[in-house]
Amino acid sequence: MERLVGTITESVTYFSVAAWLLGELKIINSELGRLALSATAVSDLSNLVLCEFFSLVRCWVVSPSLAVGRAGSTIFFLVLLFGVVRPWMFWVIRTTPEGWPVEEVYIMIIVMLALASGMFTHWLDHTPLPGAFLIGLAVPDGPPLGSTLVEKFDCLANGIFLVIYVTTSAMRVHPKKMLADPSAVKFTCVFVIATFFAKFTSCFVASCWSRIPLRDYMVLSDATFSVLTLSILVNATIIPILVKYLYDPVLRKYACYQQRNIMHLKPDSELRVVACVHRTEHVSALVDVLDIACPTKESPNVVYALHLVELVGRASLVFIAHQKDGNRVAGSFHHIVAFNNYEKNNWGMVTVNAFTAISPSELIHEDVCTLALDKQASFILLPFHRK
C-alpha cells in the first residue's frame, strides 16, 4: 500500500499544480501552456480512474459483495452529481438576474454538498479530496456562480488552509528516519528519480515528434514521506528555473513577424484587422474606425472580432472560434451579432470572423498577439477600456 501511494504521488502531474505554475511563469496561454494544461487534465482524470479501479480490486480480494456495493455507490454518486446537481446549478444561474450576486443560500448549499461529497469518498475508503474535486468539476465555470465561489473561498483556501497544510507536512519530515530503513529509502529514491526521468523523457520525445523546439492514513512511513516531500521541494525549485531558461514564447513566435503592418501591404490587397472588444458599447466605435478604411470589393476588409473576457471562476483557458450558420453567428453575445450586421451591410466588401478569448487579465494580450500572428493581420484595434 505504501509503495502504491508513492507511485501515485510521483507519477501523476496534478492539473491545479500545473495551472498555478504556468500562471506564475506567465506562460499559461502560450502554446506550451495550453499543451501542458491539456496533458495534466488527462493525467488527473486517469489518476482518478486508476485509483478507483485499484481500490475496487483490493476490496474485491477481501469481499466481492463489498466491492460491488462500492462500485454501485460510486456510479450512483456520479449520476446524481452530473445528472441532478449540475443541472440545478444551471437553474441557479438562469434565475439570477444579470449583474446580481448569487443568493447566499445557494452558496451554502454548494459548500455543504462539497463537505458531504468528501465524507462520501472517505466512506468509500478514499481521501475526501476526490469528492470535493468532483463537486468543483460539476460547478459551471465563470460568472456568476463559479466566480462567486472563487471570490468567497479563494483567500480562505489558499491563504490559510494551504499554508497550514504545507507547514504541517514539512514539520513531519524526519531526516534521521530516512536512514532507519535503508531498503525503503533506496527504493523510494530510485523510484523518484525513475518517475521524474520517465515524465521528462515522455514529454521530450513527444515534443521532438511534434517538432517543438528545444488527511493522515499512515500509509507512508516517516522515511518515505520525508524523501517524497524533499523531492517535491527539489522539483518545485528546479523545474520553474528550467522552464524559464528553455522556453521563451515571445522570441520564437514573433522572430519573423517584424514587417507585418499597413505600410507593407501590397496595393489592392485585403486589409486584415483584429478588432478587440471588452464590452458591447465598444462595437459602435470600432465599426466607425473600420469604415474609415473604405473597403471595396477589390480591396476588402477581413475583420477578426475578438471578445476579451477575464478568466474568473475557472482554471483552464478558453479560446472559441464562433462558427457561422447561414446569416447567423452561433452564440448569444451581442457584439458578435453587431459585427455580423456590419458584415451584411457591407456584403462582398467585409468579412467578419468572431472569436472569444478567456484568459487572465495580465496575460490576455498573448491571445491578441497570437490571433494576429495566426491570421497574418496588419492592424490591431484595442478599445480604451479603463474608466
Each residue's pLDDT tens digit, 166-222: 788 778 777 776 667 677 667 777 777 777 777 777 777 776 776 766 646 555 566
Name the fold adopted by 260-381: Rossmann fold (3.40.50)
Question: pTM of the entire structure?
Answer: 0.55
Q: Please give the pLDDT value at position 332.
A: 44
Please check the confidence at residue 51 and state whether its pLDDT lies above 80: no
What pLDDT digit, counting tens, does each position of 350-369 carry? 888 888 888 877 778 888 88
Cell numbers for 20: 498555478
- With a pLDDT cut of 70, the percent of the chain lying above it is 77
Residue 34 dihedral angles phi and psi, to the nearest 5° = -65, -40
Q: Please give the pLDDT value at position 342.
A: 80
Strand partners, 305: 275, 354
**What's the number of CA atoms in the CB half-sphere (13 Å) around residue 115?**
6
Q: Among positive and negative, which fits the CA dihedral 315, 316, 319, 320?
A: negative
Q: How many whole angstroms separate alpha carbon 143 and alpha carbon 320?
A: 17
Q: Among positive and negative, which fits the CA dihedral 306, 145, 163, 4?
A: negative
Q: Please give the pLDDT value at position 101.
A: 79
Please check the confidence at residue 269 and state whether its pLDDT lies above 70: yes
**For range 288-307, the mean pLDDT:** 82
Under a CB-based contact definition with an 8 Å cutoff, are residues 10 and 195 in contact? yes
Q: Please give the pLDDT value at position 322.
A: 77
Residue with grid cell 493525467, as numbered in its chain: 43
Q: Please give the pLDDT value at position 331.
A: 39
What pLDDT digit, counting tens, does each position of 307-343 carry? 888 777 666 677 778 765 544 433 346 777 777 788 8
What pLDDT digit, counting tens, does each position of 102-112 carry? 888 888 888 88
- Where in the chain do CATH 3.40.50 domains reside? 260-381
What pLDDT digit, counting tens, does each position of 134-162 carry? 888 888 877 778 778 877 887 787 788 87
Under a CB-based contact definition with an 8 Å cutoff, are residues 367 and 251 in contact? no
Single-letter code of the amino acid located at 4: L
Q: Please give the pLDDT value at position 249.
A: 61
Please check the confidence at residue 251 and state whether its pLDDT lies above 70: no
Looking at per-residue pLDDT, the higher value among 300 and 243 belongs to 300
pLDDT tier, 7 (very low <50, low <70, confident <90, very high otherwise): low
Q: How far is residue 92 from each of residues 102, 312, 333, measured CA to CA in Å?
A: 8, 18, 20
Please check the confidence at residue 379 and state whether its pLDDT lies above 80: yes
Mean confidence (pLDDT) of the chain: 76
Cell numbers for 219: 500509509
Please check the confidence at residue 306 and state whether its pLDDT lies above 50: yes
Q: Please give the pLDDT value at position 260.
A: 65
